[in-house]
């Protein structure tokens, strides 16, 4: 057992009136200050085996970072106990204690010491660090004269000299360019092979899927699920629908119909739903999963041979794709009353991002019954580490 969390609660007390001086506190003695208590973590219990890599995921504000800080002993739990076995190194921020007025070399010494390296280890590895960071020419340059990219490289190269038993990683991988991120992943792979226990907080679900044996899902400070990574990621992406639907409903209400809908309303589109691979309504999808767009219509007077169409836009308003029943050679003889039509997508090719959907019903001649422009949207979450907007089906041949 490398890390054991036993019924951890963390409550922050936020005073209504912030008193930062002795004077204010003395003056406030006769007026008791009231507190707002806010539970960031509620009854979190889990165990991590030695050598395991555990991902921690959840929306912003779900308590991921707080949890990591409690494991790191930076924050203390309000209730419950934390047990960590072995030497622990937190990568919560790179370059803690870096000082702009010191040279690269001096900063390595200080930062290395903070990360728990002994003087001898630092002396032995300092040249490797400078090599790895590619800063040979700049080793005696003051840190403030290095570019921010160089500073991050310097910090990272120093940090990975540590040989922890338990490694805590918070979103640090998110900074830096692609090349740097690849370097990071290489290093984490090395750590994993060496049997280091890793706790990994990330929004990058692709990375979590690749690296983590098990995953902890937090939501609103509660432990929603803990188990095998694939299962938990599905739960995260497709689960928790109600709250999302409510949110979306609220969004729709707050954005009144802009002049983005037109048509003679002989057919009206009453609703659009996105269905996931389980046939449940969702607004979040993993890339490469199947998805169904269900368009609900109402045609009180009955219409012969209508055409339904959709168009996809990126958040930056790029037109990505458009199709309709005519183009796909699907004929609809006659519709009358309320009903729906499905567009089945076998594999979502988009990698990540938010996508806007236009739906329309019209005649073959182009007379619009109802056209709703970019009103509906869904989100795609990254599954692996390919870069860009969408996947091109391909493979490498060597």
Partner 1 sequence: MLTANHIQELCRYRDLILRIAWSDFKLRYKNSALGFLWSLLDPLLMLIVLYVVFTNLMRIQVEHYQLFLLLGIILWNFLDRGTSLSIWGIVGKPSMVQKVYFPRDILVISTCIMALMMTALEFLVFIIFMAVFQVMPGMTIAYFPPIFACQFLIVLGLSLALAALNVYFRDVQFIWKVIVQIGFFATPIIYPITIFPENVRWMVMINPMAQIITMMRDCILYRTGPEPLSLVYLAISSLLVLFAGYLIFDRLEPNFAEAI
Adjacent-strand bridge partners of 15:
35
For residue 115, give the nearest of 143, 81, 78, 89 by alpha carbon.
Answer: 89
**Distance of closest approach, residue 240 Cβ to partner 1, in angstroms:** 29
Of 114 and 332, which CB lies nearer to partner 1 in the complex structure?
A: 114
- For the chain, state the CA radius of gyration: 27
Could you say which residues in the range 191-220 bind partner 1, by CB under 8 A? none
> Which of 47, 69, 214, 224 forms a contact with partner 1 (CB under 8 A)?
69
User: Cα dihedral sign for 351, 357, 361, 366?
Assistant: negative
Q: How far is the CB of 74 from partner 1 (least distance, A)?
A: 5
- From residue 22, give the alpha-carbon distance in Å to each of 25, 32, 33, 178: 5, 15, 14, 49
In the complex, least distance from residue 73 CB atom to partner 1, rounded to whole angstroms = 5
List the one residue from 42, 47, 85, 99 that touches partner 1 (CB under 8 A).
99
- Alpha carbons 358 and 260: distance in angstroms, whole number: 10
Question: Within positions 21 to 60, which residues make up the interface with partner 1, using CB under 8 A?
Answer: 21-23, 25
In this structure, the chain runs to a length of 398
Burial of 118 (0-12, 13-18, 19+ CB in 10 A): exposed
3-state secondary structure of 253: helix
Per rule CB under 8 A, is residue 110 in the interface with partner 1? yes
Which residue in the set 76, 258, 316, 395 belongs to the binding site for partner 1 (CB under 8 A)? 76
140 forms part of the interface with partner 1 (CB under 8 A): no
Q: List the x/- string, 113-132, binding to partner 1 by CB under 8 A.
A: xxxx-xx-------------
Q: Which is nearer to partner 1, 102 or 389 (CB)?
A: 102
Q: Which stretch binds partner 1 (CB under 8 A): 112-120, 271-279, 321-329, 337-345?
A: 112-120
Match 């991050």 to its residue by tokens: 152
Closest distance of CB 4 from partner 1, Å: 18
The footprint of partner 1 (CB under 8 A) covers: 12, 20-23, 25, 69, 72-76, 90, 92-93, 96-97, 99, 101-102, 106, 109-110, 113-116, 118-119
């Amino acid at each position: 057992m490398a890390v054991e969390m036993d019924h951890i609660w963390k409550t922050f007390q936020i005073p209504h009136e912030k008193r930062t001086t002795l004077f204010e506190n003395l003056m406030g003695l006769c007026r008791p200050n009231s507190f707002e208590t806010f539970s960031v973590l509620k009854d979190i219990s889990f165990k991590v085996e030695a050598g395991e890599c555990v991902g921690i995921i959840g929306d912003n504000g779900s308590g991921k970072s707080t949890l990591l800080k409690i494991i790191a002993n930076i924050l203390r739990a309000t209730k419950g106990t934390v047990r960590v076995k072995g030497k622990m190194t937190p990568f919560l921020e790179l370059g803690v204690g870096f000082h702009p007025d010191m040279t690269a070399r001096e900063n390595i010494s200080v930062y290395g010491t903070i990360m728990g390296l002994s003087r001898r280890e630092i002396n032995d590895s300092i040249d490797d660090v400078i090599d790895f960071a590619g800063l040979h020419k700049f080793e005696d340059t003051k840190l403030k004269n290095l570019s921010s990219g160089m500073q991050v490289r310097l910090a990272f190269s120093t940090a990975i000299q540590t040989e922890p038993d338990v490694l805590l990683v918070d979103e640090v991988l998110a900074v830096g360019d692609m090349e740097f991120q690849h370097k990071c992943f290489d290093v984490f792979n090395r750590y994993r092979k060496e049997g280091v226990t890793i706790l990994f907080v990330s929004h990058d679900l692709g990375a979590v899927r690749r690296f983590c044996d098990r995953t902890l899902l937090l939501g609103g400070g509660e432990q929603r699920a803990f188990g095998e990574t694939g299962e938990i990621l599905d739960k995260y992406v497709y689960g928790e629908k109600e709250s999302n639907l409510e949110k979306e409903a609220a969004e729709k209400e707050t954005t009144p119909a802009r002049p983005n809908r037109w048509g003679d309303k002989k057919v009206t589109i009453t609703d659009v739903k996105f269905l996931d691979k389980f046939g449940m309504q969702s607004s979040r999808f993993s890339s490469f999963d199947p998805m169904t767009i269900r368009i609900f219509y109402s045609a009180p007077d009955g219409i012969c041979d209508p055409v339904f169409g959709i168009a996809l836009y990126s958040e930056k308003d790029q037109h990505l794709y458009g199709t309709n029943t005519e183009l796909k050679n699907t004929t609809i003889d006659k519709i009358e009353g309320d009903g729906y039509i499905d567009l089945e997508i076998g594999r979502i090719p988009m990698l990540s991002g938010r996508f806007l959907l236009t739906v329309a019903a019209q005649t073959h001649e182009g007379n619009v019954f109802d056209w709703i422009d970019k009103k509906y949207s869904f989100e795609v979450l990254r599954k692996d580490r390919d870069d860009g907007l969408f996947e091109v089906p391909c493979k490498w041949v060597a």
